Amino acid sequence: MDFESYIRDIEDFPKPGVTFKDITPLLNNPEALNKACESLLSMLEGLSIDKVVGVDSRGFIFAPMLASKLGAGFVPVRKKGKLPYKTLAEFYSLEYGVDALEIHTDAINKGEKVLVHDDVLATGGTAKAVCKLVEQLGGEVVQCNFLIELSFLNGAEKLNGYPIKSLLHY
Protein backbone atom coordinates (compact mmCIF):
# COMPACT_ATOMS: atom_id res chain seq x y z
CA MET A 1 0.00 0.00 0.00
CA ASP A 2 1.21 3.51 -0.77
CA PHE A 3 1.15 4.91 2.76
CA GLU A 4 2.78 8.17 1.68
CA SER A 5 -0.40 9.11 -0.17
CA TYR A 6 -2.14 9.18 3.24
CA ILE A 7 0.39 11.54 4.85
CA ARG A 8 -0.32 15.22 4.37
CA ASP A 9 2.23 18.00 4.72
CA ILE A 10 1.22 21.01 6.81
CA GLU A 11 3.56 23.93 6.18
CA ASP A 12 4.70 26.16 9.04
CA PHE A 13 3.26 23.97 11.80
CA PRO A 14 3.83 24.07 14.73
CA LYS A 15 6.10 27.01 13.90
CA PRO A 16 7.37 28.81 10.78
CA GLY A 17 9.80 26.79 8.69
CA VAL A 18 8.57 23.38 9.91
CA THR A 19 6.69 20.99 7.62
CA PHE A 20 4.51 18.77 9.82
CA LYS A 21 3.74 15.23 8.65
CA ASP A 22 0.02 14.82 9.42
CA ILE A 23 -1.03 11.18 9.79
CA THR A 24 -4.75 11.85 10.31
CA PRO A 25 -5.69 11.00 6.69
CA LEU A 26 -4.12 7.55 7.25
CA LEU A 27 -6.03 7.17 10.52
CA ASN A 28 -9.29 8.18 8.83
CA ASN A 29 -9.05 5.37 6.28
CA PRO A 30 -9.87 1.96 7.81
CA GLU A 31 -7.94 0.02 5.14
CA ALA A 32 -4.82 2.21 5.45
CA LEU A 33 -5.01 2.06 9.25
CA ASN A 34 -5.21 -1.75 9.25
CA LYS A 35 -2.48 -2.13 6.65
CA ALA A 36 -0.20 0.24 8.56
CA CYS A 37 -0.71 -1.81 11.73
CA GLU A 38 0.02 -5.03 9.81
CA SER A 39 3.16 -3.47 8.33
CA LEU A 40 4.35 -2.28 11.74
CA LEU A 41 3.74 -5.81 13.07
CA SER A 42 5.74 -7.33 10.21
CA MET A 43 8.75 -5.28 11.38
CA LEU A 44 8.67 -7.26 14.65
CA GLU A 45 8.98 -10.78 13.28
CA GLY A 46 11.16 -12.99 15.43
CA LEU A 47 11.12 -10.62 18.41
CA SER A 48 9.85 -11.59 21.85
CA ILE A 49 7.98 -8.62 23.34
CA ASP A 50 6.44 -8.36 26.81
CA LYS A 51 5.46 -4.68 26.77
CA VAL A 52 4.82 -2.05 24.12
CA VAL A 53 5.59 1.50 25.25
CA GLY A 54 3.62 4.22 23.47
CA VAL A 55 4.87 7.79 23.56
CA ASP A 56 2.51 10.68 24.33
CA SER A 57 0.46 11.40 22.37
CA ARG A 58 0.37 9.97 18.86
CA GLY A 59 2.37 6.93 19.93
CA PHE A 60 -0.84 5.99 21.76
CA ILE A 61 -2.54 5.26 18.45
CA PHE A 62 -0.59 2.25 17.19
CA ALA A 63 1.14 1.08 20.39
CA PRO A 64 -2.02 -0.39 22.01
CA MET A 65 -3.00 -1.98 18.69
CA LEU A 66 0.45 -3.60 18.44
CA ALA A 67 0.34 -4.71 22.08
CA SER A 68 -3.03 -6.35 21.55
CA LYS A 69 -1.86 -8.23 18.45
CA LEU A 70 1.36 -9.31 20.20
CA GLY A 71 -0.33 -10.45 23.41
CA ALA A 72 1.80 -7.88 25.27
CA GLY A 73 1.00 -5.16 27.78
CA PHE A 74 0.70 -1.51 26.79
CA VAL A 75 2.62 1.15 28.75
CA PRO A 76 1.91 4.85 28.24
CA VAL A 77 4.78 7.30 28.61
CA ARG A 78 3.36 10.76 29.14
CA LYS A 79 4.42 14.34 29.50
CA LYS A 80 5.28 15.38 33.05
CA GLY A 81 2.34 15.57 35.45
CA LYS A 82 -0.14 13.52 33.38
CA LEU A 83 0.17 10.07 35.02
CA PRO A 84 -1.76 9.45 38.26
CA TYR A 85 0.51 6.95 40.07
CA LYS A 86 4.15 7.05 41.22
CA THR A 87 6.38 7.98 38.30
CA LEU A 88 9.95 8.04 37.12
CA ALA A 89 10.91 11.07 34.98
CA GLU A 90 13.52 11.62 32.29
CA PHE A 91 14.40 15.11 31.08
CA TYR A 92 15.48 15.75 27.51
CA SER A 93 16.43 18.70 25.34
CA LEU A 94 14.21 20.28 22.74
CA GLU A 95 15.27 22.80 20.15
CA TYR A 96 13.55 25.45 22.29
CA GLY A 97 14.20 24.21 25.86
CA VAL A 98 13.86 21.19 28.12
CA ASP A 99 10.90 18.85 28.68
CA ALA A 100 10.28 15.68 30.66
CA LEU A 101 8.53 12.36 30.12
CA GLU A 102 7.22 10.08 32.84
CA ILE A 103 6.42 6.40 33.24
CA HIS A 104 4.70 4.60 36.12
CA THR A 105 7.30 3.00 38.38
CA ASP A 106 5.50 -0.38 38.22
CA ALA A 107 4.94 -0.40 34.44
CA ILE A 108 7.91 -2.58 33.47
CA ASN A 109 9.47 -5.45 35.37
CA LYS A 110 13.15 -6.30 35.40
CA GLY A 111 14.10 -8.35 32.35
CA GLU A 112 10.97 -7.62 30.31
CA LYS A 113 11.49 -7.19 26.58
CA VAL A 114 10.14 -3.84 25.44
CA LEU A 115 9.16 -2.32 22.11
CA VAL A 116 9.21 1.48 22.05
CA HIS A 117 6.74 2.93 19.54
CA ASP A 118 6.09 6.50 18.43
CA ASP A 119 4.57 8.01 15.32
CA VAL A 120 7.63 10.01 14.21
CA LEU A 121 11.37 9.80 14.76
CA ALA A 122 12.64 13.35 14.34
CA THR A 123 15.66 14.52 16.36
CA GLY A 124 15.62 11.42 18.57
CA GLY A 125 15.49 13.19 21.94
CA THR A 126 12.07 11.88 22.91
CA ALA A 127 12.80 8.27 21.92
CA LYS A 128 16.17 8.34 23.72
CA ALA A 129 14.47 9.58 26.91
CA VAL A 130 11.90 6.77 26.67
CA CYS A 131 14.62 4.15 26.22
CA LYS A 132 16.37 5.49 29.33
CA LEU A 133 13.13 5.22 31.33
CA VAL A 134 12.63 1.61 30.21
CA GLU A 135 16.18 0.71 31.18
CA GLN A 136 15.95 2.46 34.55
CA LEU A 137 13.02 0.16 35.36
CA GLY A 138 15.06 -2.89 34.32
CA GLY A 139 13.49 -3.47 30.92
CA GLU A 140 15.38 -4.31 27.74
CA VAL A 141 14.58 -2.24 24.66
CA VAL A 142 14.43 -4.80 21.84
CA GLN A 143 13.42 -2.29 19.16
CA CYS A 144 12.27 1.27 18.55
CA ASN A 145 9.75 1.52 15.78
CA PHE A 146 8.10 4.44 14.10
CA LEU A 147 5.45 5.09 11.52
CA ILE A 148 7.64 7.88 10.03
CA GLU A 149 11.35 8.66 10.24
CA LEU A 150 12.55 12.12 9.25
CA SER A 151 16.00 10.89 8.23
CA PHE A 152 17.34 14.38 7.43
CA LEU A 153 17.11 15.26 11.17
CA ASN A 154 19.51 12.41 12.08
CA GLY A 155 17.46 11.19 15.04
CA ALA A 156 18.72 7.65 14.58
CA GLU A 157 22.17 8.84 15.67
CA LYS A 158 20.81 9.59 19.16
CA LEU A 159 19.43 6.05 19.27
CA ASN A 160 22.78 4.47 18.43
CA GLY A 161 22.80 0.97 19.88
CA TYR A 162 19.04 0.45 19.68
CA PRO A 163 17.49 -1.39 16.73
CA ILE A 164 15.30 1.03 14.76
CA LYS A 165 12.62 0.31 12.16
CA SER A 166 10.41 2.83 10.40
CA LEU A 167 7.57 2.28 7.95
CA LEU A 168 8.16 5.53 6.03
CA HIS A 169 11.32 7.57 5.50
CA TYR A 170 11.48 11.23 4.51
* Catalytic sites, residue numbers: 58, 95
| CB of 84 closer than 8 Å to CB of 110 | no
| CB of 139 closer than 8 Å to CB of 108 | yes
Burial environment of residue 99 by CB neighbours within 10 A (0 to 12, 13 to 18, 19 or more):
middle
Kind of pairing between the strands at 87-94 and 73-79: unpaired
Closest CA to 62 of 42, 53, 71: 53
